[in-house]
Amino acid sequence: MAAAPVLVWLRNDLRLSDNPALHAAAATGRPIVPFYILDDATPGKWRLGGAGRWWLHHSLHSLSRRLTRRGVALTLRRGEAVAVVSELIEETGASALYCNRACEPWARCDEHCLGALDIELHRFAGGLLFDPEHMRTVSGTPFRVFTPFSKACLAAPPPDPPLPAPKSMVAPARVPPGDTLTGWGLLPVRPDWSGGLRAAWRPGEPQAQGRVAAVANTVVSDYLGGRERPGRAGTSRLSPHLHFGEVTPRQCWHAVQAGIAADPAAAPGGQAFLRQLLWREFSAHLLIHVPTLPERPFRPRFAAMRYPGSKAMLGRWQRGRTGIPIVDAGMRELWHTGWMHNRVRMIAASLLVKNMRVDWRLGAAWFWDTLVDADLANNSASWQWVAGSGADAAPYFRIFSPVLQGRRYDPDGAYVRRWVPELTRLAASHIHAPWQAPAAVLAAAGVTLGATYPRPCVDLGETRRRALADYRALSGSGPSADGPKTDRPRRMA
């Protein structure tokens, strides 16, 4: 009699290498049935957004081909995850189910429900560097502040070396029937807005692994100088690959450590890059310990904060028509490519929440739909950080000035020129605040405010003062004497 197969549930771990669940399942020597479930019901409002669906299509396509080449088929099913898993157990007579742990609240609930099914369940730590249950403060509570968290991570034994792809996988005598990928309709058709995404990205494990090698060899050497410049390709652009699990943080970790060992001059950049991976780790640990993070302020007193900003304001921000060039550039980059530079994400989010006074959850929802790297942990933690309500959040008196931020991080205006072509002919000295430029300068650059390019949607000074007053009232204490003078960010820097 043929051995009962084992099931491998792939979620945001769309890779063959360093995949503990797949590796362990293959090592049993039994036939394996890898499957992916498209579940639009269980996550509720956090069902995969438009840009994420585009990425998922291509990532699954790539994974499926790679599995097929190794003799194993990927089964696609659609529906409520736990019900679909139950059906698959019944249909295949599988004896065991393998999966990697996830950090989204609904995914953790699913894992909990699997415990009630009549099957051996094997769960693995797949997508994080450190075990969230073990990474605790000396008093045994989860970390709420990044710096001690990162110190504890760096003092802990380093993450295990990555696993290779399984050497061999046995196919079952009968592959359970599944959906076709094209039948899921993950790609936009009417209209097809994905041209910019296609030009910017190559989803899939081979491309992700190639990117990691490039990061370890070259990107980190310029990371310190280049990572804060949205006009340069100074960051790794690994975020969507990491989100969909085409690469693991420990693959990145070890590749970068090896790069540093080979070239000690790359150490400062390499360490700065590893620190960003720890921000990802911190956000994931937070979400695991505080599953309400996407919905409710981490600091409860922020529940009283009012957000009178209008829908029209939100619409201008979404369309990149705020009249604030660095923000419009970022929002257009996002719309076009599904990605935005981290510095600009902070500036754009700050304008929405603190100057336009629109609820951070509406901004987070827009990012969720439009980012190819939309990630519940990173997105929620970062929006709460900007809104001041998060763990280790920006002090309330740090309100970004988009003009100063633009001048500092896009000094020659290259980034704004790329995404806001209406302003191309403005000199760097005026490009971040065209409303302050003399009329003759605007005319010479072909800019008519209110016609060729919008006037600013808010008075930055006045809205900053109002926000400060509201935040001060909420916090119940004033800033320190030198606090409000700078808009320099304290973290994510």
User: Which positions lie near ligand FAD, rule CB under 6 A?
Assistant: 227, 235-239, 242-243, 276-277, 279-280, 283, 342, 345-346, 349, 367, 371, 373-375, 378-379, 382-383, 386, 492
- Least Å distance between CB 484 and ligand FAD? 21
Q: How many Å apart are CA 174 and CA 31, to the nearest integer?
A: 10
Q: Identify which of residues 374 and 403 has a Cβ nearer to ligand FAD in the complex.
A: 374
Q: Identify which of residues 280 and 430 has a Cβ nearer to ligand FAD in the complex.
A: 280
Q: Identify which of residues 76 and 364 has a Cβ nearer to ligand FAD in the complex.
A: 364
- Least Å distance between CB 329 and ligand FAD? 15
- Least Å distance between CB 367 and ligand FAD? 5
CB atoms under 10 Å from CB of 136, counted, come to 15
- Least Å distance between CB 360 and ligand FAD? 8
DSSP secondary structure letter of residue 248: -
Find the helix packing angle between 360-370 and 311-319, rounded to 10°.
Answer: 30
Q: Identify which of residues 82 and 212 has a Cβ nearer to ligand FAD in the complex.
A: 212
Q: Give the distance, in angstroms, between the CA of residue 466 and the centroid of all CA atoms in the same chain.
A: 31
- Least Å distance between CB 236 and ligand FAD? 3
* HEC per residue, 92-158: HCCCEEEEECCCCHHHHHHHHHHCCCCCEEEEECCCCCCCCCCCECCCCCECCCHHHHHHHHHHCCC
Q: How many Å apart are CA 23 and CA 85, to the nearest integer?
A: 20
- As a whole number of Å, the end-to-end CA separation of the chain is 60
Spatial CB neighbours of 451, under 8 Å, sequence gap ≥ 6: none
Sheet architecture: strand order including 6-10 = 75-78, 32-38, 6-10, 96-100, 120-124
Spatial CB neighbours of 459, under 8 Å, sequence gap ≥ 6: none
Strands (E) in 28-93, as ranges, are 32-38, 75-78
- Record the tokens describing residue 296, joined without a space: 């409710």
| Residue 408 CB burial class (10 angstroms; 0-12, 13-18, ≥19) | middle
Q: Identify which of residues 14 and 386 has a Cβ nearer to ligand FAD in the complex.
A: 386
Residue 341, SS3 per DSSP: coil
Q: How many Å apart are CA 445 and CA 428, to the nearest integer?
A: 12
Q: Identify which of residues 63 and 238 has a Cβ nearer to ligand FAD in the complex.
A: 238
- Least Å distance between CB 282 and ligand FAD? 7
- Least Å distance between CB 405 and ligand FAD? 12
- Least Å distance between CB 46 and ligand FAD? 11
- Least Å distance between CB 158 and ligand FAD? 17
Q: How many Å apart are CA 294 and CA 379, to the nearest integer?
A: 8
Q: How many Å apart are CA 159 and CA 46, to the nearest integer?
A: 30
Q: Identify which of residues 31 and 330 has a Cβ nearer to ligand FAD in the complex.
A: 330
| Residue 312 CB burial class (10 angstroms; 0-12, 13-18, ≥19) | exposed
Q: Identify which of residues 92 and 236 has a Cβ nearer to ligand FAD in the complex.
A: 236
Q: How many Å apart are CA 87 and CA 97, to the nearest integer?
A: 13
- Least Å distance between CB 161 and ligand FAD? 20
Q: Identify which of residues 280 and 285 has a Cβ nearer to ligand FAD in the complex.
A: 280
Q: Identify which of residues 325 and 390 has a Cβ nearer to ligand FAD in the complex.
A: 390
Q: Identify which of residues 383 and 453 has a Cβ nearer to ligand FAD in the complex.
A: 383
Residue with tokens 């959040």: 393
- Least Å distance between CB 65 and ligand FAD? 25
Q: Identify which of residues 238 and 431 has a Cβ nearer to ligand FAD in the complex.
A: 238
Q: How many Å apart are CA 28 and CA 237, to the nearest integer?
A: 36
- Least Å distance between CB 394 and ligand FAD? 10
- Least Å distance between CB 466 and ligand FAD? 21
Q: How many Å apart are CA 202 and CA 200, to the nearest integer?
A: 7
Q: Identify which of residues 92 and 235 has a Cβ nearer to ligand FAD in the complex.
A: 235
